[in-house]
Chains A and B, each alone.
Chain A
Amino acid sequence: MTTALGKDLIGLEGLTRAQIELILDTAEPFKEVSERPIKKVPALRGKTIVNLFFEPSTRTRISFEFAEKRLSADTVNVASSGSSVSKGETLVDTARNLEAMRIDMVVIRHGSSGAAQFLGNRIRSNVVNAGDGQHEHPTQGLLDLLTLRDEFGKIEGLKVAICGDVLHSRVARSNLWGLRTMGAEVGICGPASLLPRGISELGVTMLPRIEDAIQWADALNILRLQLERMHAGFIPSLREYNRVFGVSTERLAQAPKPLRILHPGPMNRGVEIDSDVADGPHSVILPQVTNGVAVRMAVLYLLAGGSPEWATPGSDDR
């Protein structure tokens, strides 16, 4: 089914400003659903959704599952271990089998860039990318946008610095596309060994040091430093990373304006972010998680063909 968002949500690259605004606006009433004592609307009753997670994930998987359940969809979770995937079944065969079972939607997390599109091209069901390799993690990008909009009232004109391991980060890419489409300025900060080639050609502001980012930005989106990167020689040590690129209260005190701190999680406290920053007044890390459920409800709802008006609280869905 083709909807306002198309058949699938693969990435934020290519989405229009109107489409992103539609998702964010649709998320607003869904925020309220999660605040009710009975957290359920019948919007996706009778729909079947498979959560296909080929990579370990706690936050994203639970967030999607709650989003689906609060929309009354029937859901099945498949993790790569203990499934036919671990028996060597290829993604194309997995896709064909899902198709044969007449699934309405598939939420896929996969370690290979392009895996979500690969699946989307091969099945009629709607596909939602829950993170593919180092390519995109669109719902994370959307929840970051929603959180920024909540905090600042608008996204246009905001300066957002994406800090850390941009090279390996799908979150960074989705944020970059989403922020640019919404009219924000994007800064990139991190050790050059963890920045992808040609990133400066994307019309971003290069911020060599974390101090530069703190001076420049309205908000920092601090990426997780995956610990295996150190062993692969991208950085000398976690200790040094914290000393050079870590966001600490002392460094934040130098900011000319009060910053908001975002982090997609899971955090390495004491590496890219100090605990007193993560738990401090600037942090919007937990509101991000709350918004994650609402944004995912909005995406699933819109892909299922729902229109924004129907989602308004007070309608018959209550």
Chain B
Amino acid sequence: MRALIKNGQVIDPGRINQIADVLIEDGKIHTIDSNLESTLKNPESVTIIDAKGLIVCPGFIDLHVHFREPGFEYKETIATGVDSAVAGGFSTVCCMPNTNPVNDSQSITDFILRQAKVADKARVFPIGAITKGSKGEELAEIGELHQAGCVAISDDGIPVMNSLVMRRAMEYARAFDLPVVDHCEDAHLSAGGAMNEGFVSTELGIPGIPNAAEEVMVARNIFLAELTHSRLHLPHVSTIGSVRLLREAKERGVSVTAEACPHHFTLTDEAVRTFDTNAKMNPPLRTDADVQAVKTALKDGSIDIIATDHAPHAVHEKQRQFDNAPFGIIGLETALPLTLNLVEEGVLTLEQAIAKLTCEPARVFKLPFGTLAVGADADVTLIDPKKTWTLEPNRLRSKSRNTPFAGWTMKGQIVKTLVGGRVVYEGD
């Protein structure tokens, strides 16, 4: 099977950025060059995809999604999750283990991989738990999780509060070269909090989560990574202090990578003023100074990648009083336009923005995707960067609707997503 994506602006960050044609053969990138169409053998057997005016780049990779299966299928299933992923241009996603039961064993990992295979859209890589049941006490069977296909370990959502347990996990994970992902939150400092602690929380009377709750754990994890020489990945960095620690650690040569979520560089805690529970996530929306720090860190590379922390919750769960509603928003289908806003603002170049969604996350988890190199799996995303559209939650592919961006005008739309040379998403 062959396909030719012609006349697109091909962007393979660091390698290619030019108008070219991409020939896909047997699910792999075969050739990238100008005017390939005229040189094709048996052109009638080639599917032509006209990408004039579009960006052609590697399929996006999201290192941080919650697909809720097993256990919370009413929020999202793996099938609806990958539907949402490919609609957002993501050909690869890594799903966090906070399911029920927690993905702390080979059987759960097997189950997730099987469901992903049945859904047959995006590539799904499970992240295994650090500790059994994510209780923070005993290490999960990390070696077996690795063998079963987990690409990282995390107790996401629940910080590993015991520093000794974290040290052991980092040491142990090293044997399998697995990155350790810790949700940085001192649970004592954040206890009872439902939004950023600051001026707005004071006005609203909502218990706050101070920046320090994140920062003390970022600092701890950096020191532990330094001690154990392990690979540390920091999810959803949200504060100016975390950025400072991260930058300093990277300068010192600590093996640490970090991600930022679109909502953390797009919104501030002002969004909570209406008590909108779709503005409730953890870490919470911070202040403008934090937003600017996150943007600067994306620009200078202190924050390596953009990840969504796609966290679906059912309508009835979010339709509660603010402090009773669960944390989290969906993000797969809004990641591209919100990232492109950074290009518009001059924070990132287009190529850098695409790198943060493709080759950079591939590097962080050492995944063999996120590239258009010849011979690579043909995971390709086609983007119309100029198209504007209105976000209507009811039209999202995700099973849940919990987005703070309802009614927003978005610029930049996914036109097609290919996984292994096969079109798995086609926009209207």
Contacts and interface: CB of A to CB of B under 8 A. Distances in A.
Contacts of B427: none
Given A90-B316, A117-B275, A197-B210, A13 B322 contact: no
Contacts of B319: 90, 92
Interface in A81-131: 90-92, 110, 112-115, 117-118
Given A133-B205, A170-B205, A173-B205, A110 B321 contact: yes
A198 interface: yes
Interface stretch (B100-108, B196-204, B343-351): B196-204
Contacts of B210: 197
B198 A114 contact: no
Contacts of B202: 196-199, 202
A118 B319 CA distance: 9
A144 interface: no
Interface string B274-308: 11000000000000000000000000000000000
B316 A135 contact: no
B307 to A, nearest CB: 28
Contacts of A118: 275, 321-322
Given A113-B322, A114-B321, A135 B206 contact: yes
A113 B275 contact: yes
A253 to B, nearest CB: 34
B421 interface: no
Contacts of B320: 90-92
B316 A113 contact: no
B393 interface: no
B323 A112 contact: yes
A63 interface: no
A197 B205 contact: no
A13 B203 contact: yes
A46 to B, nearest CB: 31
A113 B198 contact: no
A176 to B, nearest CB: 9
A171 to B, nearest CB: 11
Contacts of A113: 204-206, 275, 321-323
Contact of B201 (A110, A115, A197, A202): A197
B283 to A, nearest CB: 16
Nearest to A115: B321
B409 interface: no
Given A135-B206, A136-B205, A173-B205, A114 B199 contact: no
B390 interface: no
A210 B323 CA distance: 32
Given A90-B320, A113-B275, A133 B206 contact: yes
Contacts of B274: 117
Contacts of A139: none
A134 interface: yes
Most buried by B among A110, A113, A132: A113
A112 B201 CA distance: 13
A201 interface: yes
B324 A112 contact: yes
Chain A interface bracket (under 10, 10 to 19, 20 to 34, 35 or more): 20 to 34
A115 to B, nearest CB: 5
Nearest to A54: B321
Interface in B199-239: 199, 201-208, 210
Most buried by A among B201, B210, B275, B319: B275
A133 B322 CA distance: 10
Interface in A181-223: 196-199, 201-202
Nearest to A233: B188
A201 B197 CA distance: 14
A135 B198 CA distance: 14
Nearest to B196: A197
Nearest to B317: A90
Contact of B204 (A90, A110, A135, A202): A135
Contact of B275 (A90, A114, A134): A114
A13 B407 CA distance: 27
Interface string B338-365: 0000000000000000000000000000
A61 B313 CA distance: 35
Contacts of A198: 198-199, 202
Contacts of A115: 321
A196 B204 CA distance: 11
Contacts of B205: 113, 132-136, 170, 173
B206 to A, nearest CB: 5
Contacts of B203: 13, 173, 202
Contacts of A134: 205-207
B206 A197 contact: no
A68 to B, nearest CB: 25
Contacts of A135: 204-206
Interface string B177-211: 00000000000000000000111011111111010
A152 B275 CA distance: 37
Contacts of B198: 197-198
Contacts of B206: 113-114, 133-135
A197 B323 contact: no
B211 to A, nearest CB: 10
Nearest to A112: B321
Interface in A236-260: none
Contact of B322 (A92, A112, A173): A112
B376 to A, nearest CB: 49
Contacts of B204: 113-114, 135
A288 B201 CA distance: 29
A197 B197 contact: yes
A199 B208 CA distance: 13
A151 B197 CA distance: 37
Most buried by B among A134, A201, A202: A134
Nearest to B194: A113
A13 B206 CA distance: 15
A91 B324 CA distance: 11
Nearest to A166: B202
Interface in A157-175: 170, 173
Contacts of A13: 203
A136 B319 CA distance: 21
Contacts of A117: 274-275
Most buried by A among B198, B203, B321: B321
10 contacts: A91-B320, A110-B321, A113-B206, A113-B323, A114-B275, A117-B274, A118-B275, A133-B205, A135-B205, A202-B203
Given A114-B204, A114-B206, A118-B275, 5 more contacts: A115-B321, A136-B205, A196-B208, A197-B201, A197-B202
Among all A-B residue pairs, the 4 with the closest Cβ atoms = A112-B321, A114-B275, A134-B205, A135-B205
